[in-house]
Amino acid sequence: MNKSLKIVFFGTPEFATGVLKELHNSSHEVVAVVTAPDKPAGRGRKINESDVKKYAVEHEIPVLQPKNLKADSFLNELASYKADLQVIVAFRMLPEAVWNMPPLGTFNLHASLLPQYRGAAPINWVIINQESKTGVTTFFIDDKIDTGAIIANKETTILPDENVGSLYNRLMIMGAELCLETVHTIAAGNVTTSVQQESDHLRAAPKLNNENTLIDFNEPANKVDALIRGLYPYPVAKAVIQDKEEKTVKIHKVKIINKKHQMLPGSFVIENGTLTIACKENMIEVEEMQLPNKKRMKVKDLLNGYTFDQDARFGEA
């Protein structure tokens, strides 16, 4: 029988809550949770609590929300819980004074098969880059980002029509299981690690921004489709359209049309309630789209009330 460990859990989004729930319902004790400070959100500037905080409060787990992770007041409070181990899921970089505190160390869950896809958005980038597999990895934290010694991982196949929403849900369940297995292994004193192998073939998972979420129709249709699935349902791929004036639209869902054409990439055809855009190779049919300051709509419905300019085309001028 593994001994029961006292754990401090660090995390903020829903992905982390799945892991917290698994640990909280286990034989181990989550003695405190560290999460992001509350912040105002939306038009009414209503105070928004992290998903992890909501779970912790509901289950009466003490919550710490430091603005400064190096502050003596936070470090003293953290030390007072006398945790054996710290578990990190989707949290900011920790100073050494934090990750070096518990006697059994601090491990992190990352949503990729490390060392591939280090960085902020691994679930998005494996789909965008049309990978066939991904997974989750636990590793001990060191002074760099996502480079520490690997404890364990689990692998899964990426389905051909997978989007971030479906893969996120699967990896959240796998990640929760792997974290609990990792805690059990550490508790039993059986942990072994492997050093991450550096290579010229490693792909990164940088933060998503306005540039890398913009569709380029000078790419083949399968690459455009992968970008859109890799950004759905959040943050959603964007496209510039020259239509009376330049505007940026969000494209939620498409399907590939395998059809050779002589059209300029970004030009499009509207017929029978469909909108089909030419890519460098083949075409994509847009199924759901969102005009600026409007709701997302099925294209068939959008075309009932909106007329594109005769010379309109997708792509930057």
In a domain, 192, yes or no: no
Given a cut of 80, is residue 136 above it in pLDDT?
A: yes
What global pTM score does this model have?
0.94
194 is in an annotated binding site: no
Is 252 in contact with 297 (CB distance < 8 Å)? no
Given a cut of 90, is residue 132 above it in pLDDT?
A: yes
Q: What is the pLDDT of residue 43?
A: 65
Domain boundary among 187, 202, 232: 187
Q: What is the pLDDT of residue 40?
A: 78
Alpha carbons 173 and 9: distance in angstroms, whole number: 17
Q: How far is CA 291 from CA 238, 251, 279, in A?
A: 10, 9, 21
Q: Which two tokens stand for residue 144?
A: 């760099």
User: Is 140 in the same domain as 24?
Assistant: yes
Q: How confident is the model at residue 317 (pLDDT cuts 50, 70, 90)?
A: low
Nearest-Å Rg of the Cα atoms of the chain is 23
User: Is 257 in the same domain as 155?
Assistant: no
User: Is 22 in the same domain as 117?
Assistant: yes
Q: Which two tokens stand for residue 139?
A: 């590793």
Q: Are strands 106-110 and 85-89 parallel, antiparallel or unpaired?
A: parallel
User: Is 178 in the same domain as 226?
Assistant: no
In a domain, 244, yes or no: yes
Residues 6+ away with beta carbon under 8 Å from 43: none
112 is in an annotated binding site: yes
User: Is 43 in the same domain as 116?
Assistant: yes
User: Is 10 in the same domain as 134?
Assistant: yes
Percent of the chain with pLDDT over 70: 97
Mean pLDDT for the stretch of residues 272-298 = 96
What's the CATH number where 296 sits? 3.10.25.10
Count of domains forming the chain: 2
Given a cut of 80, is residue 199 above it in pLDDT?
A: yes
Look over the chain and give the mean of its residue pLDDT values, rounded to a whole number. Answer: 95
User: Is 29 in the same domain as 161?
Assistant: yes
Q: Are strands 63-64 and 29-34 parallel, antiparallel or unpaired?
A: parallel
Q: What is the pLDDT of residue 144?
A: 84
User: Is 37 in the same domain as 178?
Assistant: yes
Q: How confident is the model at residue 210 (pLDDT cuts 50, 70, 90)?
A: very high
291 lies in which domain range? 221-314
66 is in an annotated binding site: no
Q: How confident is the model at residue 278 (pLDDT cuts 50, 70, 90)?
A: very high
Cα–Cα–Cα angle for 137, 140, 143, rounded to 5 degrees: 120
**What is the distance, to the nearest Å, from the Cα of residue 252 to the centroid of all Cα atoms in its chain?**
17
User: Is 225 in the same domain as 182?
Assistant: no
Q: How far is CA 162 from CA 5, 102, 167, 232, in A?
A: 37, 39, 7, 10
User: Is 77 in the same domain as 164?
Assistant: yes
User: Is 176 in the same domain as 271?
Assistant: no
User: Is 153 in the same domain as 225?
Assistant: no
The pair phi, psi for residue 104, each rounded to 5°, is: -95, 5
27 is in an annotated binding site: no
Mean pLDDT for the stretch of residues 90-108 = 96
